[in-house]
Amino acid sequence: MDIDRPDLARARGRRRFVLLSGSGLAVVALTVGLAQLKPAAPRVEKAAIYTDTVKRGEMLRQVRGSGALVPEEIHWIPVTTAGRVRAILVLPGARVAADTVLVELSNPEIEHDVFEAEWQVKGAEAHLARLEVQLESERLAQEATAAALDADCRVAKLDAEADEKLVAEKLIDRITAMRSRTRADLLSTRCDLESRRLVILEGAHKAQIAAQEADLARLRATLELRQEQRAALNVRAGIDGVLQRLGDRESLQVGQQVAAGANLARVANPARLKAEIKVVETQAKDIQHGQKAEIDTRNGTVLGHVVRIDPAVINGTVTVDVALDGPLPRGARPDLSIEGTIELERLDDVLYVGRPVHADSAGTLGLFRLSPDGKEAVRIPVQLGRSSVSTVEIVSGLEVGDTVILSDMSPWDAHDRVVID
């Protein structure tokens, strides 16, 4: 028969309670433990990143920009006389001398003005010649009159002196002698007046000649101006060099009407080139005149120095002109694309590393530092100092020998640790 054992039932209840309680505590402990676990670090392929090691020593600060070679001597040829293009004798790209005729223009009005000016000059020359003959004739007539009066005056003086002697000898009366003296004095006065009149006449003649010569000079200057305008219809290069373009905004065409003052052609000296590079405005603040530069033409490099810094900022860049100190590499020509590197300064005994992506000067940047075994990287704040093209100064946060990731790690901004595969 069965015997009722209540103590066994109580024991089984206690065991069941203990098991349930233990299971609950285990679940709570597991939940708390899982909640405290850090999320799994993302994995990054080693081939997808590039790194650099922090060093101490001399750091060369540089800035870099792109641009083109441009001529130092550029000659724009303006149209001084309006006209229609009759012929284009030289095409862009050809070498020209200073007196090479590039374009021939035509202007009938200029031809007519030259013709009119030539005839006006000839008329004025004829009038001057006729005036000179006329005035010379008047002068000779006046000289003849003055000479005749002078002779009469001399004779009258002799007669007066003779009559005075005859009066003294009482051969003639005193009235006759006085008449002789009066006539002699009158002729002397007339002789003086005619001499003064001759001087005045010569001065008047000189003034008339000068006025006519001035008018002739004015007409000759007008003719010279008209001839220069006609000569300007043959547009010349002005300097030795290479013709770069014809026309200001569009190519010049035969038959095209060109207004006075418009730029007709551009000639440059290809033997004298300079580098014109564009530098980002944030990097251009330390550029100064005279700093060394290296220009890469992709066919070779040439050294130079900064000669001009444009004060204006255009599209976020500053234009810097670099004079070339050495001979140009083969193939160098105007408008050739180049890369320029300007040396700002040399920093001695500084901590530096390769320039990270998106790094700014004098700013704080989070960089991933690799562990000694290179299997993981942890983000740390790094204070950056002065920067260069490919390096940047480390102010704090890193030590010599630390290896950091320089490539773009923005996809892992939400993580402070990554695993390197």
Alpha-carbon distance 333 to 70, whole Å? 8
Band the pLDDT of 245: cuts 50, 70, 90: confident
Q: Per the domain annotation, does 346 fall within a domain?
A: yes
- Same domain membership, residue 379 and residue 262: no
Are the C-beta atoms of 387 and 359 separated by less than 8 Å?
yes
Strand pairing class (101-106; 234-236): antiparallel
Q: What secondary structure, in 3-state letters, does 26-54 show?
A: HHHHHHHHHHHCCCCCCEECHHHCCEEEC
Query: 359-364 contacts: CB < 8 A, separation 24 or more?
Result: 359/384, 359/387, 359/392, 360/282, 360/384, 360/387, 361/282, 361/385, 361/386, 361/387, 361/392, 362/386
411 secondary structure, DSSP code: G
* Crossing angle (nearest 10°) for helices 174-231 and 108-168: 170
| pLDDT score recorded for residue 3 | 55
Which of 137-146, 313-322, 380-389, 399-408 is the least confident region? Answer: 137-146
Higher pLDDT, 275 or 39: 275
| pLDDT score recorded for residue 120 | 92
Higher pLDDT, 10 or 249: 249
Q: Which helix (H) or strand (E) holds 66?
A: strand 55-71
Q: What is the DSSP annotation of 272-316? A: SEEEEEEEETTTGGG--TT-EEEEE-SS-EEEEEEEEEEEEEETT
Band the pLDDT of 33: cuts 50, 70, 90: low
- Same domain membership, residue 180 and residue 261: no
> How many other C-beta atoms can be found within 10 angstroms of the C-beta atom of residue 170?
8
- Same domain membership, residue 343 and residue 355: yes
Which of 8-22, 146-160, 170-184, 278-292 is the least confident region? Answer: 8-22
- Dihedral, CA of residue 125, residue 126, residue 132 and residue 135, to nearest 10: -130
Alpha-carbon distance 237 to 247, whole Å? 13
Q: Per the domain annotation, does 183 fall within a domain?
A: yes
Q: Tell me the CATH number at 363.
A: 2.40.30.170
- Same domain membership, residue 292 and residue 162: no
Terminal-to-terminal C-alpha distance of the chain: 73
- Same domain membership, residue 385 and residue 262: no
Which of 30-44, 56-70, 255-269 is the least confident region? Answer: 30-44
Residue 32 predicted with pLDDT over 60: no
Q: Which residues, 6+ apart, have CB-to-CB distance to 362 below 8 Å?
A: 384, 385, 386
For residue 77, give its domain range.
73-107+233-268
Higher pLDDT, 396 or 166: 396
Q: Which residues, 6+ apart, have CB-to-CB distance to 367 below 8 Å?
A: 356, 379, 380, 382, 397, 398, 404, 405
- Same domain membership, residue 261 and residue 115: no
Alpha-carbon distance 79 to 90, whole Å? 16
| pLDDT score recorded for residue 1 | 45
Q: Tell me the CATH number at 245.
A: 2.40.50.100
Band the pLDDT of 18: cuts 50, 70, 90: low
- Same domain membership, residue 344 and residue 405: yes
Q: Per the domain annotation, does 177 fall within a domain?
A: yes
Per-residue pLDDT of 65-118, as tens digits, reads: 999 998 888 888 888 888 999 999 999 888 899 899 999 999 999 999 999 999
Are the C-beta atoms of 31 and 378 separated by less than 8 Å?
no
| pLDDT score recorded for residue 37 | 46
Question: Average pLDDT over the chain, rounded to whole?
Answer: 84
Residue 129 predicted with pLDDT over 60: yes
- Same domain membership, residue 406 and residue 311: yes
CB-side neighbour CA atoms (13 Å) of 268: 18
Q: Which of 139, 151, 54 is nearest to 370 (CA)?
A: 54
| pLDDT score recorded for residue 248 | 75
Number of domains in the chain: 3
Q: What is the DSSP annotation of 74-137? A: EEEEE-SS-EEEEEE---TT-EE-TT-EEEEEE-HHHHHHHHHHHHHHHHHHHHHHHHHHHHHH
Alpha-carbon distance 358 to 370, whole Å? 19
Residue 25 predicted with pLDDT over 70: no
Q: Per the domain annotation, does 38 fall within a domain?
A: no
- Same domain membership, residue 239 and residue 93: yes
- Same domain membership, residue 369 and residue 283: yes
- Same domain membership, residue 154 and residue 120: yes
Q: Per the domain annotation, does 19 fall within a domain?
A: no
Residue 195 predicted with pLDDT over 60: yes
The model's pTM: 0.57
Q: What angle do CA 291, 349, 50 make, to 5 degrees?
A: 85
Higher pLDDT, 34 or 368: 368
| pLDDT score recorded for residue 157 | 81
Chain position carrying tokens 């892992």: 412
Q: How far is CA 44 from CA 84, 178, 317, 376, 415, in A?
A: 71, 146, 36, 9, 12
